[in-house]
Every structure is written in C-alpha cells, then in structure tokens.
Structure 1
Amino acid sequence: MQLTPENLSTVDFGKSELIPAIVQDYATGVILMQGFMNLEALQVTFEKKLVTFYSRSKSRLWTKGESSNNVLTLVEAHTDCDKDSILILATPAGPTCHLGTESCFEDAKPELAFLGTLEKVISERKNADPKSSYTASLFAKDLSRSCQKVGEEGVEVALAAMKQDKEELLNESADLIYHLLVLLQRSELSLPQVVETLAKRHR
C-alpha cells in the first residue's frame, strides 16, 4: 500500500516499535540501504521529504545525510502486505553508504539499473562545456542533429543484425540507446515514461 501523510497510522508498529525500512533508488531501482523507523521517524520523513530513521546506536531520530549532506529525498513510501515493513523510493544526493559507495549492497545491482544511472549522467552533463563532453556537444547543437543520430544508429543496428554480427549489434544497440536517451531529455521526456507506455500497452 502506498503511504501518504494521512494514512501513516495504518503501519503496524504493534509487533515492534521499530520496523525495517528499505531504501531504493527511484531512478535505478538499486537498493541503497536498510534502517529502522518508528512512527515519529516516518512522520518526519514525510514532513521534511528527507528519509529519517531511528538510530539504535544514537537512540534518537537520524536524518540520512545530516552530517555528510548525502541526503535521500523522499519520492514514495509503501508498506508490505502485513504493514510491518516499509519500502522507501528516494532520490540520493550522493553516495549512500558510509564507505563512499552508491549502495550499502554495492555488489547487488540489477544490470538494467545502469540505464537509470546513464540517464542521470546525461542530465548532469547537458550544460557542461561542449568541448569537454560529447553529451554536452549534442545538447549544444540543433535538435535535428539528435534526431539524425537516432535515425543513423537505428539503421546501423538493423545492418548489424542483417550481417549477424553479434558484437557489432551490441555496440550499435548501445549507441542507439544512448542517443535515444539524449533525444528524450531534449524533448523533456524520460526513460520511465517510455517504460510506462510499454506497460500500458501490455495491460
């Protein structure tokens, strides 16, 4: 069930005052960390829009990133079927783990998660110096250039498939996906919106 400020009382803290809260990167799906929340921590998370836990070692509320500034901005929160654990979808401001890695489960990343990472990298580089970044150079040119690149790469993908050259097909497909992500951002659209469109067609 998706949580809102109005239905937080439905979360079951009856078995324990602290329940597990798993944080997932909203853009990539990567599991970032796991902590514990009481009702107050959950309420503060919604009030601040920053993920806040109850620290068992500090015996107090603790907002992730309060000292490092690597905060987790709340996007959505959900409970499981028993309403005694929480899944938080958040946007990280930097590395989540205290060891400086993206995730506390650094070796457990879905392969497709990189698409979300790439989309963020493209967004970050769009205003960079065109001389130092190929991505920035694409944004600096007319929209027609990005459209042309998607068309060219699409043809290259088809030709590689016709030749049955698997290595070339992989490389050309990577080029196509990259340039498509650039074109989507230039059109103020995103990969999740494309996925949502596919899901609607599937239903």
Structure 2
Amino acid sequence: MKIDFNKNNDGLVPAIIQDASTKNVLMLGYMNEEAYQKTLETKEVTFYSRSKQRLWKKGEESGNILKLKDINIDCDKDTLLITVDPVGPTCHTGTDTCWGKNNVQTYGFLSELESVIRSRKENQEDEESYVASLFRKGINKVAQKVGEEAVEVVIEAKDDNEELFLNESADLLFHYLILLQAKGYMLSDIENVLKSRS
C-alpha cells in the first residue's frame, strides 16, 4: 500500500511506535516522505520534527534509538504502525514510554493472576487462601499438585468431554504458575528460555 502523505496539507502522517516484543505503544511521532525513506534506508526510525522543522532521528543525541522491525499502513493509508526494538528509554523524560509506563511484557489476565499468586506467597498466614496454604506446605506439595493436574489433563485429553479437558487444563496452568513462583520464577523467565531456542 502506498502512504498518502498528501492527505493533510503539511505532508505529515502520524507514526505510532510499538515495541516489537512487548507490543506496548512507546510514542507517537510524525513522518514526511523523506523521514519515511530515511527510516527504510537506515533501519533506525527517523521522524519529521514539527518543532525543529527538520528530520530528527530518534536518539540522535541520547543514543536511545529505535531499531526498525516492521512498518504497517492503516486502511486509510495515512497512519503508520512502526514496530521497533528500542535501545534505552523512548521518552525524552527518561521513561520507557511517553505515557510514563514501564515497557514490560504482560500476558493479560495471566499477569493479573501472577500478581495474585505473588500476593498470596507474600502473605502465607492467610488461613482462607488455598494458594497461601500450598506455599505453607512447601515445594514438594506444590510440585505434587502440578503432577496430579498434568495427569488429569492427559486423561481428559483422551476423552470427548471438552469442558472437563479445559477445566483440567486451567487447573494445570494455575498450579504451574504457583510452582514457578515457588521456585522464584515468572512467566517471563519461561518466555526468555523459549526465545533463546527459537
């Protein structure tokens, strides 16, 4: 698709910058055709600075460049989604993003669940918490539960009851997340191992 740089009178199109790994939005900049071509040539994101009225390579002073991974054009051909590997913080204020958010990998609801598990691990005296009770019983009990749930997933995989299979799979994943934290790890540690193998 061809970018429509002439849609606006200023010849600029918005460029949304997204981390290729975490999928977090890092910043918004603007590109004219020259900045776009420069980005393609150098594989480092270059914008058109509206305040400086010139091309501006992100990180030209700080060294916090944005290494180009991919560029996508929206359906109206007037907005870019640029995925990058950031080198250092993206915002000029020193934060990871221009919204003051940390650029960390999240896994949606699973990250929320990890937070709850961490809270239960830190507050093991909670007598009403099943997760806290597992942590109190120690690593052997947690590992045993993962083994039991894994066997139940295998059994249900061989049957035709999809609801039971999904429920046992959820139990396995839940207990595995507990085991990870019992060993001092998180999902991100497993992701790093898998990335190193790809």
Task: Give the TM bin, normalised by the shorter chain.
Answer: 0.5 to 0.7
1: distance between equivalents of 2:145 and 2:26?
A: 35
Q: Alpha-carbon deviations, 1:90-134, whole Å to 9, x = none? A: 000000011111111234877328x9xxxxxxxxxxxxxxxxxxx
- Report the CA distance between 1:44 and its aligned residue: 0.2
1: distance between equivalents of 2:40 and 2:78?
A: 18
2: distance between equivalents of 1:169 and 1:18?
A: 49
1: distance between equivalents of 2:25 and 2:194?
A: 26
Shift in CA distance, 172/57, structure 1 to aligned 2, threshold 3 Å: same
1:181 aligns with 2:191: yes
- Report the CA distance between 1:183 and its aligned residue: 3.8
- Report the CA distance between 1:171 and its aligned residue: 2.9
Shift in CA distance, 185/27, structure 1 to aligned 2, threshold 3 Å: closer
- Report the CA distance between 1:167 and its aligned residue: 8.7
Structure 2 residue runs without a partner (length 5+)? 111-139, 153-170
- Report the CA distance between 1:173 and its aligned residue: 4.2
Contact 1:157–1:173 (CA under 8 A) maintained in structure 2: no
**Amino acid paired to 2:190:** L
Q: State the identity %.
A: 42
Contact 1:18–1:38 (CA under 8 A) maintained in structure 2: yes
Task: Specify the alignment match of 2:146 in structure 1.
Answer: 158
Contact 1:156–1:172 (CA under 8 A) maintained in structure 2: no
Say which SS state the counterpart of residue 84 (structure 2) adopts.
strand
Q: Alpha-carbon deviations, 1:132-173, whole Å to 9, x = none? A: xxxxxxxxxxxxxxxxxxxx9x955615869x8x99654324
2: distance between equivalents of 1:106 and 1:112?
A: 19
Q: Quick check: which has more Rg, 1 or 2?
A: 2
Task: Specify the alignment match of 1:112 in structure 2.
Answer: 107
Q: TM-score, normalised by structure 2?
A: 0.60
Please show how residues 50-129 of structure 1 align to structure 2 within 5 Å: 50-107=44-101, 111-112=106-107
**Where does structure 1 differ by over 6 angstroms across 4 or more consecutive aligned residues?**
none
* CA root-mean-square deviation: 3.4
Task: Specify the alignment match of 2:43 in structure 1.
Answer: 49
2: distance between equivalents of 1:185 and 1:156?
A: 28
Shift in CA distance, 181/64, structure 1 to aligned 2, threshold 3 Å: same
Task: Specify the alignment match of 2:3 in structure 1.
Answer: 11
Please show how residues 10-49 of structure 1 align to structure 2 within 5 Å: 10-16=2-8, 17-49=11-43
Please show how residues 143-154 of structure 1 align to structure 2 within 5 Å: none
Task: Specify the alignment match of 1:146 in structure 2.
Answer: none
2: distance between equivalents of 1:77 and 1:83?
A: 12
Contact 1:19–1:38 (CA under 8 A) maintained in structure 2: yes
Shift in CA distance, 167/80, structure 1 to aligned 2, threshold 3 Å: closer
Say which SS state the counterpart of residue 97 (structure 1) adopts.
coil
